[in-house]
Structure 1
Amino acid sequence: MSEPRTPILQFGTSRFLQAHADLFFAQAEPPLAVTVVQSSGDAARAARLAALAAPGGYPVRIRGLDRGRAVEQELRVDSVRRTLSTASDWPALERLFCEQVEIVISNTADAGYQPQPADLDPTPSQGMSFPAKLAHLLAARFHAGARPLQVMPLELVPENGRVLKARVLEILRGNGMPAAVADWVAGLGFANSLVDRIVSEPLEPAGAVAEPYALWAIEAAPGIIAPCNHPAVQMVPDLEEIERLKLHILNLGHTALVDFWRRSGARPGALVRELMDAPEGAALLALYDAEVIPGFAQKGREPQARAYLAATLDRLRNPFLDHRIEDIAQNHTQKAERRIAAFLDWIGPGGPATPQLHAIVERARA
């Protein structure tokens, strides 16, 4: 049997990727094939790694609300055709990287970018961070004379493409590789992107439960192309607008709910969907209407904000999602600063009256 050709190389085996990018690749026109790489070397996840590429694929269950209508369906994801581990399959990974790969995606969590003592070693090793492993693979591709490729990180890091590229170049220039390698990598496209989908639980040994809403927004730049044709994949001129919507509507709403929940007695075990049918939910709707939407309107973004709010309310009311408000309440002060105080700074003192938002920030700081 011939080896499957996989133009997509994915670092990370998370349930988020299983219900996000891997699902999109399976649904794309035309469908795309993926090799999944486990970069952690965690032997405990061997069963998941094998199940990702099982014949017939793995399940993703979509459960939630879409325009107020309940959605519950199971999809099969068969885009993953091969799995490898950086701990045991480096020669095969390097050969694949040089011969087949056109797009690299990653979701290795924020910790995956953290520098490691082995990062500047002259040869690749399992103790390296993800950027260092990627640097060695890119160097191998350069020496093989292969054509340029595109790198598309999905980690929730602001300007993730710029950050990853800078770290890879720092490693290449610090470990004694020829300057021509770094010069070649500097010319590659590293895309900035923002991803969004609540993936609420894993299915074993592979698969996940996810909400209907999904987004993969990619910032347009020279040499950057969409990885596939899918409704959830959007090329945008600037990520700032989407970042503002997510931060100051969805995330702001979560933080405001925490404040209302605390003021009403902080009932243990309360779920977001339950609060949306309680006085806290009514207070949030009033806050959106009186202070948040007018703030976006002042910036000329009312239509976008209202459309995003409608989708957000479906997400907050998802009857299948047990999202505990106590989990959202962690690091409340920092979240209030980033989600609410930053919104007030953005709209400025000449904007609409925002007494409730100011009060929430003051209580969080107290």
Structure 2
Amino acid sequence: MRLSPATPLPASVRRPAYDRAAQAAGIVHLGIGAFHRAHQAAYTDAAMSGGDRDWGIVGVSLRSPDVAAQLNPQDGLYTVSSRSAAGCELSLVGAVQRVLVAPENPRAVIDALAAPTTHIVSLTVTEKGYLRGAGGELDLAAATGPASLYRYLGAAFAARKAAGLAGLTLLSCDNLANNGAVLRGLISAWLDAEQPDLLGWFESECRCPATMIDRIVPATTDADRAAVAAELGACDEGAVVTEAFSQWVIADDFAGPRPRWEAVGAELVADVAPYETAKLRMLNGAHSALAYIGLLNGHDYVHQAIADPAIRPLIERLMRDEAAPTIAAAPGQDLGAYAAALLDRFANPALDHRLIQIAMDGSQKIPQRWLETLAWHQRRGARCPSLERAVAAWIDFLRSGRFPVDDPLADRLRAAAAAPDAAQRLFGAQGIVRSDWTPAA
């Protein structure tokens, strides 16, 4: 039996405390994968259970129909399994109302974005989904393609302006440094090139707050789904698994109404930068290092790699001695305690977070995760042994032939890694991955 609104739930399962059928959709989410379902949708579900209304979510898959096939037959319902060494807590999330597959029904996506009830458009499209060139600028040729989020936003802006509707809050929840300003700049570049008559409306009516999002969400396995089915007594094809920890920091700059996310654990702040930088350079930087070093040392999962006595000291030094000094911490932000908490989270044996999942899209992730830290120290005449080891591991990963290279620049990366001067070809002045850091000769 498939999970549905009629499924009788065990008393152990937490469930929405609101009438799902009575809620309007206030949010459209682009890129509805497992992370969104375990993070932003869970916060929104909790806010509605706490009394907020009309914040249902219309999910949009820009490419694959997989999530729509998982959730639509279940009326958008799915479960979140929060796992720790102490056990597992299962929650039913009801915030998602439906999932649209953009290539199959582009008009429905535009209509959802342009609907009078929609106030927020959130995004988890991964770093590569923003379609940026090597220097961070909009790749306009790619951005005119069929999977471009800018095409849908531009059409929706035109419809909203014509109807006299308010602007939108566009909320990037991806691991991009200064993600709100980046998104705003990319949308402005698209409009300037393709729909210049909308640029002034967008700049005056819409807002793009910065965010920092933090929760480890491994890919769901068949074993995970079987465990959920055993507890539910029904099959949940949309089940997600995650850790108990969750954090969401948002700049308080919205174009209109929003859920009271701060009432359910989110932090609304004036400046997200210190939290965002710490997460990118400490958590994400350590994760990528664990992925490449761990895979080359025969490990499959994060908790295995961090338990390796040859790897853990490298990761701790990366966070404490290399990344942390580059971060201008906010008042009360304890980076030493953050590093200790991250080591504990990485070691969680209840969470099978695959290293190969973290290893994907290295060319899109490494600049903000490693290279900014390396450049900071290089300007001061210092070296970063752990990060330099991680860079070497990425090159070995690319050239080894032992692992799939899931990256939009895969062919170019493999060719560069195979050359004797691989580091220069990858990171030099004319390298594939641009930054202010220059590898030693």
Query: TM bucket by the smaller chain?
Result: 0.7 to 0.9
Partner amino acid for 1:228?
A: R
Of 206, 218, 223 in structure 1, the residue corresponding to residue 250 of structure 2 is: 218
CA distance in 1 between counterparts of 2:318 and 2:143 reads: 47
Partner of 1:109 in structure 2? 126
CA distance in 2 between counterparts of 1:25 and 1:362 reads: 38
1:35 lines up with 2:57 in the alignment: yes
Partner of 1:309 in structure 2? 339
1:18 lines up with 2:40 in the alignment: no
Partner of 1:80 in structure 2? 96
How many angstroms does 1:205 deviate by? 2.0
Per the alignment, in what secondary structure is the counterpart of residue 195 of structure 1?
strand
The sequence identity of aligned pairs, in percent, is 24
How many angstroms does 1:256 deviate by? 5.7
CA distance in 2 between counterparts of 1:83 and 1:330 reads: 25
Partner amino acid for 1:20?
A: H
1:59 lines up with 2:92 in the alignment: no
CA distance in 2 between counterparts of 1:330 and 1:101 reads: 33
Give the structure with the larger strand fraction: 1
Where structure 2 has 5 or more consecutive residues not aligned to the other structure, the ranges are 1-19, 132-138, 226-235, 394-422, 424-440
Judging changes above 3 Å, is the alpha-carbon distance between structure 1 residues 357 and 173 closer, same or farther for their aligned structure 2 residues?
closer
Of 151, 162, 166 in structure 1, the residue corresponding to residue 170 of structure 2 is: 151
CA distance in 2 between counterparts of 1:241 and 1:189 reads: 20
Deviations 1:68-99 (A, max 9, x none): xx341111101112333443262585267332
Per the alignment, in what secondary structure is the counterpart of residue 218 of structure 2?
strand
Judging changes above 3 Å, is the alpha-carbon distance between structure 1 residues 281 and 184 closer, same or farther for their aligned structure 2 residues?
same
Say if 1:4 and 1:81, in contact at 8 Å, map to a contact too.
no
Judging changes above 3 Å, is the alpha-carbon distance between structure 1 residues 130 and 241 closer, same or farther for their aligned structure 2 residues?
same
Partner of 1:123 in structure 2? none
* TM-score, normalization by structure 1: 0.76
Say if 2:282 and 2:319, in contact at 8 Å, map to a contact too.
no
Alignment of 1:202-351 (within 5 A): 202=220, 203=225, 205-221=237-253, 223=255, 227-230=259-262, 231-254=264-287, 257=290, 266-280=296-310, 283-284=313-314, 287=317, 291=321, 295=325, 304-325=334-355, 339=369, 342-343=372-373, 345-346=375-376
Say if 1:109 and 1:156, in contact at 8 Å, map to a contact too.
yes
Larger RCO, structure (CA 8 Å, separation 6 or more): 1
Deviations 1:4-58 (A, max 9, x none): 411112222211111111111111133453232424354455412404634xx21
Computed over aligned residues only, the root mean square deviation of the Cα atoms, in angstroms, reads: 4.1
Partner of 1:190 in structure 2? 208
How many angstroms does 1:245 deviate by? 1.8
Say if 1:10 and 1:34, in contact at 8 Å, map to a contact too.
no
Say if 1:108 and 1:155, in contact at 8 Å, map to a contact too.
yes
Partner amino acid for 2:238?
A: A
Say if 1:51 and 1:205, in contact at 8 Å, map to a contact too.
no
Per the alignment, in what secondary structure is the counterpart of residue 25 of structure 2?
coil
CA distance in 1 between counterparts of 2:186 and 2:316 reads: 44
Say if 2:288 and 2:358, in contact at 8 Å, map to a contact too.
yes
Per the alignment, in what secondary structure is the counterpart of residue 348 of structure 2?
coil
How many angstroms does 1:59 deviate by? 0.6
How many angstroms does 1:300 deviate by? 8.9
CA distance in 1 between counterparts of 2:308 and 2:66 reads: 42
Of 177, 199, 219 in structure 2, the residue corresponding to residue 201 of structure 1 is: 219
Say if 1:64 and 1:318, in contact at 8 Å, map to a contact too.
yes
Per the alignment, in what secondary structure is the counterpart of residue 59 of structure 1?
strand
Partner of 2:191 in structure 1? 172
Partner amino acid for 1:216?
A: W
How many angstroms does 1:174 deviate by? 3.3
CA distance in 1 between counterparts of 2:387 and 2:201 reads: 49
CA distance in 2 between counterparts of 1:119 and 1:93 reads: 16
Aligned residues: 349
Say if 1:34 and 1:79, in contact at 8 Å, map to a contact too.
yes
CA distance in 2 between counterparts of 1:332 and 1:173 reads: 30
Judging changes above 3 Å, is the alpha-carbon distance between structure 1 residues 4 and 224 closer, same or farther for their aligned structure 2 residues?
closer
How many angstroms does 1:60 deviate by? 0.7
Where structure 1 has 5 or more consecutive residues not aligned to the other structure, the ranges are 121-125
CA distance in 2 between counterparts of 1:323 and 1:284 reads: 19
Per the alignment, in what secondary structure is the counterpart of residue 92 of structure 2?
strand
Deviations 1:135-168 (A, max 9, x none): 1101101111112331112233333333333333
